[in-house]
Amino acid sequence: RFTRVLFFSCRLEVFLVLGTVIIYFIFSKKKEETLPFKDGWWGKGQKADTKEDTTIRPFKVETREEELSDLFRRLDQARFTEPLENSCFHYGINSVYLRKVVSYWKNQFNWKKQVEVLNKYPHFKTKIQGIDVHFVHVKPPHLPEGQSAKPLLMIHGWPGSFYEFYKIIPLLTDPASHGLSDEHVFEVICPSIPGYGFSEAPHKKGFNSVSAASIFYELMLRLGFNEFYAQGGDWGWLICTNLAQMAPNCMKGLHLNLASVTKVGFAHLLSVLLGRYFPGLFGFQEEDVRRMFPFLKKGLYRILLESGYAHIQATKPDTVGCGLNDSPVGLAAYILEKFSSWTDLEFQNLEDGGLERKFNLDDLLTNIMIYWVSGCIVSSMRFYKENLQKGIGTQKHEKLTVQVPTGIASFPNEIMHTPQAWAQKKYTNIVSFHFMPRGGHFAALEEPELLAKDILQFVGKVEKEQLKKKR
């Protein structure tokens, strides 16, 4: 009788194990499903019955005397608060340094000249799902024999803009003139996320990254591209990821300079606890360990100390943005603080926040002016609420994987490091993963050459792979 019971229990166990394996595979297969395209209407009031205007209209950034004199008046009347003694950038932006920036802004910064700089690339607007979407479209000045320009969609984040790409665009549309290999040449499309810069802000609730991805997908189709590459960091990372999940057949390759993992499980916890001692066991490389540990300091505390802005923007965007849309100095303070801390956290120990070590004031102020003249700070912040209000790791797209060939450029001063071992759970087809030697969050603006080189080598790999498959 005992042996019979044993036999049955063995069979039961086998059955259970088999059943689990089968179920696992069924469910894991499910993760490969595509993200559905999200249709929407973001315009004012009711959607009209008439067909939407799908024309692509050229656009020029303009400025008026009135705009400038209003800005100067506000800069003149700015009220500052003295910093605490020896506080550097530990309490946020240092107002002594801010005064210097404002003085430069008022006396040396030339907005008219910067507008001409902005207009050096062709701008366009087109109506999609009820709102005007702005984008810059730069074609290569000349193409090498027998080559065609590869379309590359580059998406910015917060508090950035399309302007962040102005230094990297020439390296991608005209690599030869900049000492880079011209094996691949791109035509670059940099849109503004709706609610940012010159793109109209959505008038309805619920405009999240999937909505943005759907709109950019429509944009690329409207421009006549049925295959393209996409590149992004910050929100651009998420929108490009969603795009890859939505239209994998259209996306030839996905390049990211940020690859956060939002769906964390027990395995992650374990690797955090033990990864320092058994890196190999968890797939960590030496550089991963160097960047991630001690985890409390470099992971948890850092996130807590740096995420106050995300917390308030994800809950009360209209409140926090209100004063910033009314005080250009307040706006500059808020945005510049990020360009300091997210470029190098050590900059907090400097009285000037280290800003001018990696950027020049003209570029920084041009980015801020885009937020100021378009009055978009509040709508840019709403994107946090629309994406994060239900919590992190709860949305459908966070549970789906990405099968599109992916290239990740991992910059050392990014706020939190994601090792390849974690990234490949979501990005199942990582073709290249490189530790960049220097640079932080605003990679395209800070280290355009490094980023461009990584994009080029990534595309090279993808194209080679494609050729192999064709043969």
Binding footprint of another protein on the chain (CB under 8 A): 44, 70, 73-74, 77-87, 91-95, 98, 201-205, 304-309, 311-327, 329-331, 333-334, 337, 375, 377-379, 382, 385
Which member of 234, 288, 344, 454 is catalytic?
Answer: 234
State the minimum distance, in angstroms, from the CB of residue 98 to another protein: 7
Longest CA–CA span in the chain (Å) reads 97
In the set 123, 134, 156, 441, the catalytic residue is 441
- Active-site residue, 441 included: yes
CB 111 within 8 A of CB 369: yes
Whichever of 257 and 313 has its CB closer to another protein, that residue is: 313
Q: How far is the CB of 273 from another protein (least distance, A)?
A: 20
Q: How far is the CB of 290 from another protein (least distance, A)?
A: 26
Sort 46 into a burial class: Cβ within 10 Å, 0-12 / 13-18 / 19+: exposed
**For residues 3 and 86, which CB has a smaller minimum distance to another protein in the complex?**
86
Task: Please check whether residue 132 is in contact with residue 125, taking contact to mean a CB–CB distance below 8 angstroms.
Answer: yes
What residue has token string 């802000």? 201
Q: What's the CA gap between 328 and 31, in Å, rounded?
A: 45
- Nearest CB to another protein, comparing residues 48 and 84: 84
Q: Which residue intervals of 248-316 are DSSP H helices?
A: 266-274, 286-292, 295, 302-306, 308-313
CA distance 317 to 306: 17
Note if 397 is an active site residue: no
DSSP 382-418: HHHHHHHTT-TT-SHHHHS-B-S-EEEEE-TTSSS--
Measured from the CB atom, the residue of 122 and 308 that comes closer to another protein is 308
- Calculate ∠ Cα 121-123-126, nearest 5°: 160
Shorter beta-carbon distance to another protein: residue 169 or 331: 331
268 noted as active-site residue: no
Q: To the nearest whole angstrom, how small is the minimum distance from the Cβ of residue 128 to another protein? A: 18
Pick the catalytic residue from 121, 384, 397, 454: 384
Active site residues: 234, 384, 441
